[in-house]
Structure 1
């Protein structure tokens, strides 16, 4: 018998991606649609690209329970990537951050129970365990939650609360019978093609705080995750919540990254062909350092070592990240962005040592790096 596209989609099932209009959520939904799933992209903001075949976009708010309940009929798996308050002025809107990240997550959990959706994959963040103190090769068993009163931003605190809500919901009873299986993915800084947000804000932060080199450890290591590796991890996590995989991921949390650690300053030299003396001068700088825990989230994330193992994700999910080049993604970004007055900075000769040019080059380099940090799962 002939197998139609509709037959394939029916067999693959129906999924919802909250935050499906954002950078990461849209790429996740697009990949699932390409694999034959019937995908509902749910977001307040419309996706940046055309809706792919097999997907439907609903412009709605996860805080609206009735609307969320309505679109989730017949759904097999919920990918909850939506959140609020990660960066910019929205960080200060405490009530809205709490209503989306906590209240919205509570709605997602309740809809899963009422609609008998058996699987929930929640996109969290490493900030639930990292608040400015160094972590080297941390794993899920050894790194505890940051105490809620120790978080310095509403986003991280509410994500930690929401994560614990999702874990607590694991094993809960579905209205149609059977248990709800949940799991958590904790990505680090996300990078990838076509991500262009936050550059203006990043440039201002760089100018105010970064060039003096008065903060943190120039040897600091951190992890990154390419958006396609993060999509892969979510797909595998959903599979690991099925009976076919013995629900091995049920009630579990996983750190997700590319499997490598990067030093900010060495990466800058490699990417922008700066003279090695820049790194030596940075590491030898004896200016008084400020407490990294008092820095804003984006700056703190490059000032202190925080690296995490992905052994558990490899073992339970079968996660094997593909190699991607952070430098290539930055180059693509620079080539695709609108022309600006600073574009000529990247044509400077390697041998150029004029202080003003070096300042501008470093300034732009830092801005791009922090831009990559801010590419977090397109929760907004």
Structure 2
């Protein structure tokens, strides 16, 4: 569970970590016969910055126009994780938290506070009813535990949670409708 700061829009950096780093983890898991791999993706892989996501689920396609290099490379990393499902017994799934915050946060909440102090938060986008998720870090940890338990269940639950639970109209190599939890 690692990624460069999403506010640093360096495609080379994000690609190295979110795509190549993810592929390295997959290769190590396959080589070492790891049973389960849970990827921490991002809600930004399906968000185009224009259309709100209400009651979104794993049927949402990746956005055709990622907001930045972070989002584009997280989608590519997620697609690699889901494609690896079933390789040498490895079960995979992806979680898509949004704007994680909590104790020890040195990025998200401090940047909001800094923007407010600098007078940069005195604007509103849309009609003020925009929906945006913030995810508490303990909930992210709990989601990972639940995902691990689902993958370990070795029953229909595992099949639905794993990358193999793709929609029937989706081929194994197509990332257009990735299964996520």
- Greater relative contact order, per chain length (Cα 8 Å cut-off, separation 6+): 2
Distance 1:153 1:145 in 2: 13
Q: Distance in 1 between matches of 2:133 and 2:123?
A: 24
Structure having the higher Rg:
1
Mapped to 2, the partners of 1:236 and 1:146 lie a distance apart of: 27
SS in 1 for 2:162: coil
Would the alpha carbon gap of residues 192 and 200 (structure 1) be closer, same or farther in structure 2, given more than 3 Å must change?
Answer: closer
2:130 to 216, 220, 233: 220
- State the shift of 1:131 in Å: 1.9
- Following superposition, the deviation at residue 183 of structure 1 comes to 0.5
Aligned-partner Cα distance in 2 for 1:252–1:200:
38
Structure 1 unaligned segments of length 5 or more: list them.
Answer: 1-80, 174-178, 254-311, 314-380
Matched, 1:210 2:121: yes
Alignment-derived partner of residue 233 in structure 1: 143
| Counterpart Cα distance in 1 of 2:149 and 2:104 | 28
CA separation of 1:170 and 1:205: change in aligned 2, threshold 3 A: farther
Greater strand proportion: 1
Change (3 A) 1:201 1:192: closer
Q: How many angstroms does 1:139 deviate by?
A: 1.9
Aligned to 1:102: 19
CA distance in 1, matches of 2:94, 2:104: 26
1:95 and 1:106 mapped to 2: Cα distance? 15
* Length-normalised TM-score, structure 1: 0.39
Q: CA RMSD in A?
A: 2.4
Q: What is the number of residues matched between the two proteins?
A: 163
1:151: Cα distance to partner?
1.3
Superposition deviation, residue 194 in structure 1:
3.3
1:85–1:154 CA contact under 8 A, matched in 2: no
Q: Aligned residue for 2:85? A: 170
SS in structure 1 of the partner of residue 67 of structure 2: coil
Q: Is the Cα contact below 8 Å between 1:188 and 1:223 reproduced in 2? A: yes
Supply the distance in 1 between the matched residues of 2:96 and 2:61 (Cα, whole angstroms).
13
Give the alignment's TM-score, normalised by structure 2. Answer: 0.78
Q: What's the CA shift for 1:209? A: 4.3
Q: Deviations over 1:345-364 (max 9, x none)?
A: xxxxxxxxxxxxxxxxxxxx
- Match for 1:194 among 96, 104, 107? 104
Deviation at 1:152, TM superposition (A): 2.7
